[in-house]
Amino acid sequence: MPFSTEDLNAQGEALRGMLAEQGSRLRKIVSTSLDAFFTADAAKARVAIELDDAIDETDVEIERRAVALLTRVANEATPCNDRPLRGLLTLVKVNNEYERIADCGVDIAQRAIELSGSPAAFPPTSRVMTNSVLGILRDTTKAYDKQDATLARLVLQSESMVLTFKAEIMRTAERAVANGDMPVDLAFDLHELAGQCVLMADHATNVAEQVIWETTGVIVRHRAGEWVEQSAREEVKKDEAERNGDK
């Protein structure tokens, strides 16, 4: 029986459902890891690390199924427009970003184990920063699940907030260490936490870019400190102009 457009859409939706569950898992890992970090709870940190096994398994399975689906579409020359294919390509990329966000959560959990039994007095700003990251991850996964380009654009604007938090936290830590009000080890832990938060926000914006591309066909790039949207045709022309200029 020929592989129809309806079959393609149905299997694509099944993969989207798997990725929606993956989004829920990664948020659970990150929230559990952050809680373990602030409370120096090794047991909770290990729970977060164990949750990553399901993330890794699902990551591989989604990619395997997506490749098999694209292969079948190509082999059977299934008639379709670019939307479902764009959706599958986006799904594979988002799947990869989700796995990397989960890895950040694991890194935080591993740091929490090293802090085990000795919770530190982290500055309140660090909690505000991590809560912001959790909000970004919530909006990111929702934007993908609902194919909401408007929400995705809000995610893009949120990354600068996390960078601002990191800069402020690091400045405060440096002053505190210089004045003898903060141990160097605590400042190092703050640096590690802030770095992972920035990394997660960066992966979230990658997802947001893909959501906008999938739903609108518009390519988003971060240039000169701002997000720039342009069509795929405009992107090609710009690349060609840059190459000719280099010559």
Residues 17 and 77 in one domain: yes
Residue 92 falls inside a structural domain: yes
Residue 216 falls inside a structural domain: yes
Residues 185 and 103 in one domain: no
Last residue of a domain, one of 66, 84, 119: 119
In the chain, % of residues over pLDDT 70: 90
Residue 247 falls inside a structural domain: no
Which CATH number belongs to the domain containing residue 96 in this structure? 1.20.58.220
Residues 76 and 178 in one domain: no
* 64 three-class SS: helix
* Mean predicted confidence (pLDDT) in 54-72: 94
Of 26-35, 37-46, 109-118, the one with minimum mean pLDDT is: 109-118
Residues 114 and 165 in one domain: no
Residue 157 falls inside a structural domain: yes
Residues 3 and 108 in one domain: yes
Per-residue model confidence (pLDDT) at position 83: 84
Last residue of a domain, one of 87, 119, 151: 119
Report pTM.
0.87
Q: Into how many domains does the chain fold?
A: 2
Residues 55 and 105 in one domain: yes
Secondary structure of the chain in the HEC alphabet?
Answer: CCCCHHHHHHHHHHHHHHHHHHHHHHHHHHHHHHHHHHHCCHHHHHHHHHHHHHHHHHHHHHHHHHHHHHHHHHHHCCCCCHHHHHHHHHHHHHHHHHHHHHHHHHHHHHHHHHCCCCCCCCCHHHHHHHHHHHHHHHHHHHHHHHCCHHHHHHHHHHHHHHHHHHHHHHHHHHHHHHCCCCCHHHHHHHHHHHHHHHHHHHHHHHHHHHHHHHHHCEEEEEECCEEEEEEHHHHHHHHHHHHHHHC
Per-residue model confidence (pLDDT) at position 96: 96
Of 62-76, 138-152, 169-183, which has the strongest mean pLDDT?
A: 138-152
Per-residue model confidence (pLDDT) at position 234: 54
Residues 46 and 131 in one domain: no
Last residue of a domain, one of 65, 92, 119: 119
The predicted-structure confidence for 144-158, as pLDDT tens digits, reads as follows 999 999 999 999 988
* Mean predicted confidence (pLDDT) in 193-198: 95
Residue 90 sits in which domain range? 1-119
Per-residue model confidence (pLDDT) at position 231: 63
Residue 61 falls inside a structural domain: yes
Confidence of residue 4 (pLDDT cuts 50, 70, 90): confident
Give yes or no for residue 159 having a pLDDT over 90.
no
Per-residue model confidence (pLDDT) at position 195: 95
Residues 145 and 227 in one domain: yes
Residues 125 and 195 in one domain: yes
Residues 98 and 147 in one domain: no
Per-residue model confidence (pLDDT) at position 236: 44
Residues 10 and 27 in one domain: yes
Residue 141 falls inside a structural domain: yes
Residues 237 and 125 in one domain: yes
In the chain, % of residues over pLDDT 90: 62
Per-residue model confidence (pLDDT) at position 178: 92
